[in-house]
Amino acid sequence: MPEGHSVHRIARQFERNFAGRVVAASSPQGRFVEGAAELDGRTVTNVRAVGKQMFLEFDDGLWLRVHLGMYGAWDFAGEILVDPTIASANGRMGQTNQRGTDLADAVFDAAGENSLASIGAPRKARVHVRMSEQTTGLADDDEEWPPPIVGQVRLRLLTESTCADLRGPTACVLQTPDEVAATIAELGPDPLVDDIDEGEERFTAVVGRKPTPIGQLLMDPKVVSGIGNVYRAELLFRARQNPHTPGREVAQDVVRGIWRDWVGLLRIGVETGQMMTMDNLDPEAYRRAMAHRDDRHWVYHRAGLPCRVCGTAIVVEEMATRKLYWCPSCQR
DNA sequence: CATCGATGTTGAG
DNA sequence: TCAACCTCGATGG
- Residue-wise pLDDT tens digits, A15-65: 999 999 999 999 998 999 999 999 999 999 999 999 999 999 999 999 999
Helix axes of A196-207 and A252-272: crossing angle, nearest 10 degrees:
130
- A71 CB closer than 7 A to any strand B atom: yes
- A246 CB closer than 7 A to any strand B atom: no
- A215 CB closer than 7 A to any strand B atom: no
The reported pLDDT for the residue numbered A139 is: 46
In three-state form (DSSP H/G/I as H, E/B as E, the rest C), the secondary structure along A273-305 is CCCCCCCCCCHHHHHHHHHCHHHHCCCCCCCCC
Q: In what order do the strands lie in the sheet with A53-58?
A: A44-50, A53-58, A62-67, A171-175
Query: How long is the CA A11 to C1' B8 vector, in angstroms?
Result: 18
The nucleotide whose C1' lies nearest the CA of A2 is B7
Least confident of A102-106, A183-187, A207-211, A234-238: A102-106
Instruction: Express each pLDDT in A92-151 by its tens digit.
Output: 222 222 222 233 334 434 333 345 566 765 554 434 443 333 333 344 555 688 999 988
All domains of chain A in start order, with CATH = 4-183 (3.20.190.10), 189-326 (1.10.8.50)
The reported pLDDT for the residue numbered A110 is: 36
Query: How long is the CA A291 to C1' C11 vector, in angstroms?
Result: 22
Q: Quick one: DSSP state of residue A59?
A: G
The reported pLDDT for the residue numbered A118 is: 67
Instruction: Express each pLDDT in A258-304 by its tens digit.
Output: 999 999 999 999 998 888 898 888 888 887 777 777 788 999 999 99
Query: How long is the CA A250 to C1' B10 vector, in angstroms?
Result: 28
User: Alpha-carbon distance A327 to A332, whole Å?
Assistant: 9
Tell me the average pLDDT across A173-193.
96
Instruction: Express each pLDDT in A302-323 by its tens digit.
Output: 999 999 999 999 999 999 889 9
Asked if A115 and A74 count as a contact pair (C-beta separation under 8 A), the reply is: no
A317 DSSP β-pair partners: A324
The residue whose CA lies nearest the C1' of nucleotide C10 is A123
Q: Which of A69, A75, A64 has the alpha carbon at shortest distance from A52?
A: A69
Query: How long is the CA A21 to C1' C8 vector, in angstroms?
Result: 31
Tell me the average pLDDT across A159-170.
93
Local structure of A270: helix, strand or coil: helix
User: Alpha-carbon distance A57 to A241, whole Å?
Assistant: 40
pLDDT exceeds 70 at position A251: yes
Q: Which nucleotides of B are covered by protein (CB under 7 A)?
A: 6-10
The nucleotide whose C1' lies nearest the CA of A1 is B7
